[in-house]
Amino acid sequence: MGLITWIAVVVTILAIMGLGWNVFVSGVYKGVQKIMDNSTVLKKMTEKAQQLVGSITKNGSEEKILKRPVSNNFNSNLNV
């Protein structure tokens, strides 16, 4: 890693230690919310990503349901 990366890591760790985990995370969350509220391009990209992930997970789960073999033998999984 480069020097700048190490400095950023050290500063982040010191901020977490100084502020506490909950305060640090809530501050980061508030900062992200401010950026999201002001940026329409970022908001549109986030909505597109949510739609894409939703359709991928929906299609994947439908494929698994449709491709699952149907068995009438209910005791086949029992080791009796």
Query: Could you report the per-residue pLDDT of 55-72, keeping only the tens digit for each?
Result: 877 766 555 555 555 555
Q: Give the pTM.
A: 0.38
Q: Is residue 48 part of a domain?
A: yes
DSSP 70: P
In angstroms, the CA 73 to CA 24 distance is 55
Q: Is residue 51 part of a domain?
A: yes
pLDDT given for residue 74 in this prediction: 53
Range of the domain at 36: 32-66
Q: Is residue 10 part of a domain?
A: no
Q: Is residue 79 part of a domain?
A: no
Band (75; pLDDT cuts 50, 70, 90)? low
| Of 38, 12, 36, residue with least CA distance to 25 | 12
Q: Is residue 52 part of a domain?
A: yes
Higher pLDDT, residue 21 or 78:
21
CA distances from 62 to 6, 47, 65, 73, 76 (A): 45, 22, 5, 23, 24
Q: How many domains does the chain have?
A: 1
Q: Is residue 41 part of a domain?
A: yes
pLDDT given for residue 73 in this prediction: 55
